[in-house]
Structure 1
Amino acid sequence: MDEQQLLALSRGPVTHSRLVAELAALGLEADAGETVMFHTRLSALGYVPGGPRTVVGALREAVGERGTLLVYSGWNDAPPYDFVEWPRAWQDAVRTEHPPYEPGLSEGTHDNGRLPEALRLTPGAVRTAHPDSFVALGARAAELTADVSWDDPYGVNGPLGRLVATGGRVLLLGAPLDALTVLHHAESLAQAPGKRYLGYEVPVLDERGERVWRHYWDIDTEDEAFDYRRAGVPEGEWPFAVIAREALAAGIGVSGRVGAGESQLFDAAALVRFGVNWIESRVTGA
């Protein structure tokens, strides 16, 4: 959409001060020292003068000096998990020359819009050494991102587990319900039949700064960690959106409008508990 369409959508510019006020009305508290993981669809907000920088600045003010922001970053140029099935000569070429993941340099995934990169490039932001990466900015940034479990980045010793443990919240700022990355933590915790895992091989820098290949094992986030069709999720429907809608109906989370965008704010621990119970009670069979 062009600027005129966006302005009509948001009934005027969605400025820094407007964002701060509407985020406060949704429930963010600048003096609470809280940690907030956010997902944003910028175009859904309407016309935001300054774009991602304005949104990041408003979010920082909305959580206050003692608060912390968290996003999923990933690694845009990671080798595909299935490159190990390519012809040997192609594999060897990748293994020989693929650049390593470097937290300060490697670009985050493009899949989640422009805001995660805007936060990553903000002075003071901290990124995980694990290539399935998260970025944090604020008082708890180091605590959230340090020493992530290599084989279980979505588990209790990863950023999402720490978000839950520290009483954090999750904000969907015009983003769809299926964007709730924190539900991968629920998948990591859930004990249900047929949980799916994937192995990944990635080049990283070791303690001496030398490029090495490492293997890690994780729940399947490429497709789905469970067969959600067995839980009654229709083909083509995103399971996280189904779980989130039912959580909202159960009173977990609040909804409101920020700019032009329908937005939600969830308590991370409550949403994860709901997700674990939903998966364990609905997913059946192997």
Structure 2
Amino acid sequence: MPTPPPTGPLVTQDTLTAELRALGVEPGEILLVHSSLSSLGWVCGGAVAVVRALLDTVGPDGTLVVPTQSGDLSDPAQWSNPPVPEQWWERIRASMPAYDPLVTPSLGVGVIPETVRTWPGALRSGHPQTSFAALGARAAEVVEGHSPDCRLGERSPLARLEKLGARVLLLGAGYDTCTSFHLAEYRIPAPVVTVGRPGADGGWEVVTEVSIDSDRFDELGHDFERDRAVVRGKAGAADVRLFPVADAVAYAQRWLPLHRSREDEF
């Protein structure tokens, strides 16, 4: 059977730029983007056109930030999607390449962040599993100093984005992707976990980290949107949300202790 034609809408760099500006994205601002390319419709130029539109919208004085996580640099004993045979674990730990911000690809965050990561001039933070990439005027200020034992806490780009007055743009992505909520987890009583990964100087290392969990972030986002000023609209076919990082963190810091049971946390 012939392949059916695309249903659209047709999205171009110019139409996306105009829609983002109409939603209130401002030149010169710092924008943390969580995205889904497929949600937009038929995009002429794909992820490259989307990144160009985002850069056009924030302008030369603005900064574009995306998550470039690499959760595959982790202990194979904890893999479940898919798991690997237990007899492979030690060989995987011994041979897994260490994190290299210039080389290690992002995983599970979509094609738009990976396009930003490989864009000329992009900078990337130093955490081997939860890095961020940034383009623009304040990119270095955002990504520098990401501590290897602080995934998404006070010594991560999230805290820097909060301090700098950045906003979150959910571009066809849900609140389950909103990393800003994780910063709140570092500010409330929370369990810790041991995390295994390849060491920067070779070998295998184990670090202790705050346990993070996004399972109820959709519910958290629903309440946040109900109670706080969140810009809502469309870009192409995608639902869009725009709000300050600081507002999301502050709301989550109050919401999580009330809605997560002790069993959920510990």
- The two structures have a TM-score, normalised by structure 2, of 0.88
1:188 aligns with 2:164: no
Which amino acid is the alignment partner of residue 42 of structure 1? L
Distance 1:272 1:76, change over 3 A: closer
Which amino acid is the alignment partner of residue 273 of structure 1? A
How far apart, in 1, do the equivalents of 2:234 and 2:200 lie? Answer: 43
1:261 aligns with 2:259: no
Q: Displacement of 1:76 after TM fit?
A: 5.3
How far apart, in 2, do the equivalents of 1:34 and 1:214 lie? Answer: 38
1:239 aligns with 2:216: yes
| Mapped contact 1:83–1:91 kept (Cα < 8 A) | no
Which amino acid is the alignment partner of residue 69 of structure 1? L
| Mapped contact 2:76–2:93 kept (Cα < 8 A) | no
Which amino acid is the alignment partner of residue 263 of structure 1? V
Superposed CA RMSD in Å reads 2.3
What secondary structure, in the 3-state scheme, does the structure 2 residue paired with 1:200 have? strand
How far apart, in 2, do the equivalents of 1:164 and 1:81 lie? Answer: 33
Q: Which residue among 26, 31, 40 is the counterpart of 1:36? A: 31
Q: Displacement of 1:92 after TM fit?
A: 3.5
| Mapped contact 1:22–1:257 kept (Cα < 8 A) | yes
Output aligned runs, 1:67-106, within 5 Å.
Answer: 67-75=62-70, 77-80=72-75, 82=77, 90-106=88-104
More displaced 10-residue stretch of structure 1: 133-142 or 93-102: 93-102
Q: Which residue among 48, 60, 65 is the counterpart of 1:65? A: 60
How far apart, in 1, do the equivalents of 2:118 and 2:85 lie? Answer: 37
The percent of aligned pairs where both chains have the same amino acid is 35
How far apart, in 2, do the equivalents of 1:52 and 1:3 lie? Answer: 22
Match of 1:26 in 2: 23
- Output one character per residue of 1:98-155: Cα deviation in whole Å (capped at 9) or x when no partner: 211111111111x221111010010111111211211111111111111212222211
Q: Which residue among 158, 162, 165 is the counterpart of 1:164? A: 162
Q: Displacement of 1:79 after TM fit?
A: 3.2
Distance 1:81 1:170, change over 3 A: farther
Unaligned 5+ segments in structure 1 are 226-237
How far apart, in 1, do the equivalents of 2:47 and 2:88 lie? Answer: 38
What secondary structure, in the 3-state scheme, does the structure 2 residue paired with 1:100 have? coil
| Mapped contact 2:77–2:89 kept (Cα < 8 A) | no
What secondary structure, in the 3-state scheme, does the structure 2 residue paired with 1:214 have? strand
What secondary structure, in the 3-state scheme, does the structure 1 residue paired with 2:134 have? strand
How far apart, in 2, do the equivalents of 1:283 and 1:76 lie? Answer: 24
How far apart, in 2, do the equivalents of 1:28 and 1:271 lie? Answer: 17
| Mapped contact 1:153–1:159 kept (Cα < 8 A) | no
- The two structures have a TM-score, normalised by structure 1, of 0.82
More displaced 10-residue stretch of structure 1: 95-104 or 261-270: 95-104
How far apart, in 2, do the equivalents of 1:77 and 1:35 lie? Answer: 28
What secondary structure, in the 3-state scheme, does the structure 1 residue paired with 2:152 have? coil
Q: Which residue among 130, 143, 146 is the counterpart of 2:144? A: 146
Which amino acid is the alignment partner of residue 43 of structure 2? V
1:219 aligns with 2:219: no
How far apart, in 1, do the equivalents of 2:117 and 2:109 lie? Answer: 13
How far apart, in 2, do the equivalents of 1:106 and 1:220 lie? Answer: 24
Q: Displacement of 1:282 after TM fit?
A: 2.9
Which amino acid is the alignment partner of residue 246 of structure 2? A
1:115 aligns with 2:106: no
Distance 1:279 1:77, change over 3 A: closer
Q: Displacement of 1:183 after TM fit?
A: 0.8
Distance 1:157 1:81, change over 3 A: farther
Distance 1:53 1:3, change over 3 A: farther
How far apart, in 1, do the equivalents of 2:46 and 2:58 lie? Answer: 19
- Output one character per residue of 1:54-75: Cα deviation in whole Å (capped at 9) or x when no partner: 0000001111111111111111
